[in-house]
Amino acid sequence: MKERKSNIELLRIISMLLIISTHLFVVSGVRFSDYGDGVSRNEFIAQIMGLGGKLGNTIFIVITGYFGINAKNINEKILKLINQTHFYAVIMLILTLILGISVSKYEIVKSIFPIFTGSYWFITVYVCLLFFSPFINLLLHKLTKENFIKLILGLFILTTILPITSNTSFDSVGIYDFDIFVLLYIIGFFFRKYPLKQNSIWYLLITSLLLNIIMIISVLDIDIMSSLLQKPKLLNKIYFFNRQQSPLLILCGVSVFLFFEKIELKQNIIINSVSKTVLGVYLIHGNIFFHRYFYTHFLKFQDLLEASMWKYLFHGMTITLVIFLICSLIEYLRQKLFLITFLNNFLSAINNKIINITSSFFKRL
Q: Are 280 and 327 in contact (CB under 8 A)?
A: yes
33 domain-assigned: yes
Q: Where are the beta strands (DSSP E) in 155-215?
A: none
- pLDDT score at 172: 41
CA distance 99 to 109: 19
**Total-model pTM:** 0.85
Which H helix or E strand runs over 313? helix 309-336
How many other C-beta atoms are found inside a 10 Å radius of the C-beta of residue 281? Answer: 24
Give me the count of residues in the chain: 365
Give the list of residues 6+ apart from residue 189 with CB closer than 8 angstroms, or none.
Answer: 65, 66, 68, 69, 136, 137, 140
For residue 47, the enclosing domain spans 6-364
1 domain-assigned: no
Give the list of residues 6+ apart from residue 240 with CB closer than 8 angstroms, or none.
Answer: 164, 246
Give, as one character, the DSSP assignment of residue 2. Answer: P
Return the amino acid letter for 196. Answer: L
CA distance 248 to 178: 18
CA distance 151 to 167: 23
How many other C-beta atoms are found inside a 10 Å radius of the C-beta of residue 305? Answer: 18
Of the candidates 32, 30, 29, the residue with the CA atom closest to the CA atom of residue 232: 32
Per-residue pLDDT of the chain in tens (365 residues, 90 and over written 9): 456 789 999 999 999 999 999 888 877 655 554 545 556 777 778 878 878 888 999 999 999 999 987 777 888 889 889 989 998 999 999 999 998 888 888 888 888 899 988 889 999 999 999 999 999 999 999 999 999 999 999 999 988 887 766 655 555 444 568 899 999 999 999 999 998 876 678 888 899 899 888 888 877 766 666 555 555 555 555 555 567 888 888 999 999 999 999 998 888 999 999 999 999 999 999 998 888 778 777 777 777 777 888 888 898 899 999 999 999 999 999 888 755 566 666 666 666 665 565 556 445 55
318 domain-assigned: yes
192 domain-assigned: yes
Give the list of residues 6+ apart from residue 101 with CB closer than 8 angstroms, or none.
Answer: 289, 293
How many other C-beta atoms are found inside a 10 Å radius of the C-beta of residue 115? Answer: 19
Domain count, the chain: 1
